Amino acid sequence: MASFIITFREALEAVLIVSIIFAFLNTNKLSSYKKHVYLGITLGIVSSIIFGMILGTLEEHFAEAFEGIFSLIGAFLITTLILWLHKNKNFGKEIQNKLNSSLNKNFGITLILLVTVNILREGFETVIFLSAIPGDASIIYAILGIVVAVVLGYLLYIGILKVNISIFFTVTNVLLILFAAGLIAYGIHELQEAGWFPIIIEHIYDINSFINEKGTFGGFLKTLFGYNGNPSLIEFIAYWTYLIPSMFFAFRKKEIKNNLNQ
């Protein structure tokens, strides 16, 4: 489930950006430049795969410390992503403005770079997030997430499907915040096992008899939200220190925007 949500969210962002660019080319009768977009998509995907292979090689040599570090990096990237989306509500218009300003300045190269960088960014984040999932990421569900995102993006592009993108991103932002909080707790847990962080109090409580983290439901919560039935003191503090302000910020920003609109 975590693998599906991650790849679906990241792939959909990439698909929406590409759709915006295609719509711009169609509107301005610049269809001849679509080959540059396809080249950018190819370069972005290939670069992401190469990065994933390099990361996989590193993971084999560093185990617990690797998982801990990349869990924290994943949480940081999720947070910056959410902040960026809050700040850039009209990123579609911004992309079109960039394209307009570069029409007479090596437009083909600009298209290739714009698409490549955006695909690579989403690919980079996807690889980091999947690497940070507690346990093993599901390749099948990861691929399924990409396929569903591409199909959904295409249906949106041709106008068959109508979806409130704002509501979609609000819901997925909440899921990502929960996921990031879990990554922080899991990252600290792994670094404690690697001896990089002090433990202080190893288990401040133990509810595994109620919801076992190694059981079906507990394993689902652990993979998606970093659930730990017997967390250490530092894990517990880090989880709630991140989660509460992040949730408040996510909903507070929406409230402020609604008040301004009124």
* pLDDT tier at 38, thresholds 50, 70, 90: very high
Name the DSSP class of 200. S
**pLDDT for 147:** 92
- Whole-angstrom Cα distance, residue 51 to residue 45? 10
Please compute, for residue 91, the number of CA atoms within 13 A of its CA located in the half-sphere on the CB side: 17
Helices 107-132 and 34-87: crossing angle in degrees, nearest 10, is 60
Instruction: Inform me whether the pLDDT recorded for 26 exceeds 80.
Output: yes
**pLDDT for 137:** 60
User: pLDDT tens-digit profile of 250-262?
Assistant: 666 544 344 334 4
Written as one letter, the residue type at 128 is I
Instruction: Inform me whether the pLDDT recorded for 42 exceeds 90.
Output: yes
In this structure, what are the phi and psi dihedrals at residue 128, rounded to the nearest 5 degrees?
Answer: -65, -45
Instruction: Inform me whether the pLDDT recorded for 135 exceeds 70.
Output: no
Structure tokens at 47: 């670069």
Structure tokens at 154: 């295409």
**pLDDT for 139:** 82
Which among 225, 61, 49, 52 is positioned nearest to 135, based on CA atoms? 225
**pLDDT for 261:** 43
User: pLDDT tens-digit profile of 194-213?
Assistant: 788 888 888 898 888 888 87
**Residue 182, Cβ neighbours under 10 Å: how many?**
28
Which among 24, 38, 51 is positioned nearest to 120, based on CA atoms? 51
Average pLDDT over residues 130-140: 70
Q: Which is more confident, 237 or 256?
A: 237
Q: What DSSP letter does each residue of 103-119 carry, written as one string? A: TTS-HHHHHHHHHHHHH
Lowest average pLDDT, out of 17-26, 79-88, 99-108, goes to 79-88
- Whole-angstrom Cα distance, residue 112 to residue 107? 9
- Whole-angstrom Cα distance, residue 260 to residue 244? 24
- Whole-angstrom Cα distance, residue 116 to residue 44? 4
Structure-token match 């949500």, residue found: 5
Report the predicted TM-score, pTM, of the whole model to 2 decimal places. 0.66
Query: Distance between the two ends of the chain, CA-based, in angstroms?
Result: 38
Instruction: Inform me whether the pLDDT recorded for 192 exceeds 60.
Output: yes
Query: Percentage of the chain with pLDDT > 90?
Result: 9
Q: Is 18 exposed, middle or buried (0-12, 13-18, 19+ CB in 10 A)?
A: buried
Q: What DSSP letter does each residue of 32-62 carry, written as one string? A: GGHHHHHHHHHHHHHHHHHHHHHHHHHHHHH
The H-assigned helical ranges of 133-206 are 139-158, 165-193
